[in-house]
Structure 1
Amino acid sequence: MTDIHTVTSRDGTAIGYRQLGQGPGLVILHGAMESSQSHIQLAEALSPTFTVYLPDRRGRGQSGPYGSPFTIQTEVDDLSALLAKTAASNILGVSSGAIIALQACLQLPTIQRAAIFEPPLGIDRDSATQSLERYDAEMANGKTSAALVTAMRATEMGPPIFKYVPRWLLEQLTTMAMAHEGSSSPSPQSPDDSNSTTTPANMRALAPTLHYDFQISLSMSDDEAISNLSKVTTEVLLIGGSKSPTYLRSGLDRLEKVLPNINKRVVFAGLGHGATGNSDRRGQPALVAEELRGFFGE
């Protein structure tokens, strides 16, 4: 049984979240192009042992808009409000959600354990800024497929063959994929979102949120920001996939050198950046849940 709730963040924005299971509280903070539904199978696998909370980050599901000004602190405040309401002390952060989780560990002593999955750390700032500018221009001109391709190439998402596929063809394939999704996927802020179980909001609806995920990655794009993570005292589990892009695996290497309280690092053989997600998105939720139970249950 999944319940839908909301909590009010510091700036008055409503943050929606799903709740299921029983036991100690565990928050799963999703990454880019995802919503609370993206990890529902992982939550179900963990639900016999934990009360799992799946928030929709801003701009998605039951949550309010990003607002202005927006910084990573905005998302830390959202997470803080959820932790205060639920008394949860465990968190899994995925991709850009992992950057938010790390920043939260610096500020929120109530977080006792954090599992960190492939945060996009230390990206090339100039390249990422150029990609963001191009993405913003394409979105402003209604070229959603082109903007998604720009983001996909910048983050090295998609099969390796995508590096060799002409851009015009990638845009055409993306347009076809969005058309295929059609109205079967919920929009990011649909009133009927609570009726959906495993289907994340569709690509077209989630595309505008990428601007903010770029911002979050850029906030952790220099050596000083990463060095500052040496102040994190939370016990940390580092997680990654053997098939993920090199820069994501390198990011975990950097965390191994700077975080003072690492429990261990786990690499899932044969899995990529979607490892924690639902099985229809190339995830292995049962495998990930087994590792998380060991860490959070100790």
Structure 2
Amino acid sequence: MMPIARQLAASYTVVVYDRRGRGESGDTPPYAPAREVEDVLSLIEVLGGTASLFGISSGAALALEAAKRHAGVRRLAVFEAPFVVDDTRPPIREEWERIEQALADGRPDDALRTFLGSVGMPRPLLWLMRRLPLWKRLRTLAPTLPYDGALVQRFQLGAPLRAEEWAGVAVPTLVLDGGRSHAWMRHAMRALADVLPSARYHTLPGQTHNISAAAIAPVLAEFFASDAVPRPADG
């Protein structure tokens, strides 16, 4: 996220925050998705009461929930919320159970492997990541993985998205995916754009779930600068 933020900061005031229980942010159990939404809404108030939101993966689901609940959200962009809306892949259910069991057993590495595999990370890349310094930082996030599950699991059961679930997201919304991302994720983003009241669907050619800042930042900058209603969904 930081490379994207740095590019957007040339034109906007950009706030990137550590979600509850991550980085320098504290945690106050018990966890509930509504509390994460409250965190976002509090930030909007600190910024003067209006803001545009952008989220990636489970952060996209969080941004969608926040947009339902705050009239000061001006525009919303989401990239590849990990929803499962058809039979392109099996529902993501047992993976969350394995993640929670691994954490209960004190096996954060296993929890991370299961989580990253559930969003389609190829095994060779996963093998490489475990040998990079990045893995140590990811391990510190492992205890909060169930928070992501609480945000997205009900949308990962292979059922179509219901328009009434998203009727409150009335702001102009840009729904993005990568042209080389898994079909199940791309199907979900197209379906999301179809049920949102004012959304445009756009694919970033050649991109995957591991999005390049150079590919997405200019698209976001243009979208956030516009006051126009998004055009009809495109490919």
- Partner of 1:64, secondary structure, is coil
Offset, 1:297 = 0.7
User: Would the aligned equivalents of 2:167 and 2:196 in 1 still touch at CA under 8 Å?
Assistant: yes
Q: Distance in 2 between matches of 1:115 and 1:205?
A: 27
Structure number having the greater strand percentage? 1
Offset, 1:231 = 3.3
What TM-score does the superposition give when structure 1 sets the normalisation length? 0.67
Which residue of structure 2 aligns with residue 95 of structure 1? Answer: 57
Q: Distance in 2 between matches of 1:40 and 1:80?
A: 21
Which residue of structure 1 aligns with residue 202 of structure 2? Answer: 266
Between stretches 136-145 and 208-217, larger displacement belongs to: 136-145
Which residue of structure 1 aligns with residue 147 of structure 2? Answer: 212
Q: Distance in 1 between matches of 2:2 and 2:153?
A: 28
User: Would the aligned equivalents of 2:68 and 2:168 in 1 still touch at CA under 8 Å?
Assistant: yes
Offset, 1:292 = 1.1
- The question of 1:229 aligning with 2:157 is answered no
Q: Distance in 1 between matches of 2:115 and 2:163?
A: 23
Offset, 1:144 = 2.4
- Partner of 2:71, secondary structure, is coil
Which residue of structure 1 aligns with residue 230 of structure 2? Answer: none
- The question of 1:119 aligning with 2:119 is answered no
User: Would the aligned equivalents of 1:83 and 1:89 in 2 still touch at CA under 8 Å?
Assistant: yes
Superposed CA deviations along residues 18-59 of structure 1, whole A, max 9, x for unmatched, are xxxxxxxxxxxxxxxxxxxxx222111111210000011011
Offset, 1:66 = 5.1
Q: Distance in 2 between matches of 1:74 and 1:215?
A: 12
Which residue of structure 1 aligns with residue 34 of structure 2? Answer: 73
What TM-score does the superposition give when structure 2 sets the normalisation length? 0.83
Superposed CA deviations along residues 249-296 of structure 1, whole A, max 9, x for unmatched, are 11111112211212x322111110121xxxxxxxx2133111111111
- The question of 1:60 aligning with 2:25 is answered no
256 and 224 in structure 1: CA distance in 2 versus 1, 3 angstrom threshold: closer
User: Would the aligned equivalents of 1:178 and 1:202 in 2 still touch at CA under 8 Å?
Assistant: no
Q: Distance in 2 between matches of 1:123 and 1:147?
A: 24
Which residue of structure 2 aligns with residue 82 of structure 1? Answer: 43
Instruction: Write the letter of the residue equivalent to 1:61.
Output: G
User: Would the aligned equivalents of 2:84 and 2:92 in 1 still touch at CA under 8 Å?
Assistant: no
> Residues 68-217 of structure 1: matches in 2 within 5 Å?
68=30, 70-87=31-48, 88-122=50-84, 127-156=91-120, 158-159=121-122, 162=123, 173=127, 177-178=129-130, 180-181=132-133, 202-217=137-152
Q: Distance in 2 between matches of 1:201 and 1:60?
A: 14
- The percent of aligned pairs where both chains have the same amino acid is 29
User: Would the aligned equivalents of 2:37 and 2:62 in 1 still touch at CA under 8 Å?
Assistant: yes
Q: Distance in 2 between matches of 1:245 and 1:41?
A: 23
127 and 48 in structure 1: CA distance in 2 versus 1, 3 angstrom threshold: closer
Q: Distance in 1 between matches of 2:187 and 2:36?
A: 25
Structure 1: runs of 5+ lacking an equivalent: 1-38, 186-199, 276-283
Instruction: Write the letter of the residue equivalent to 1:296.
Output: F
131 and 107 in structure 1: CA distance in 2 versus 1, 3 angstrom threshold: same
Root mean square deviation of aligned Cα: 2.4
Q: Distance in 1 between matches of 2:46 and 2:11?
A: 20
Superposed CA deviations along residues 64-87 of structure 1, whole A, max 9, x for unmatched, are 11520x222111100000000012
Which residue of structure 2 aligns with residue 246 of structure 1? Answer: 183
Number of residue pairs the alignment of both structures matches: 219
- Partner of 2:15, secondary structure, is strand
Q: Distance in 2 between matches of 1:201 and 1:92?
A: 26
User: Would the aligned equivalents of 2:161 and 2:192 in 1 still touch at CA under 8 Å?
Assistant: no
Structure 2: runs of 5+ lacking an equivalent: 227-235
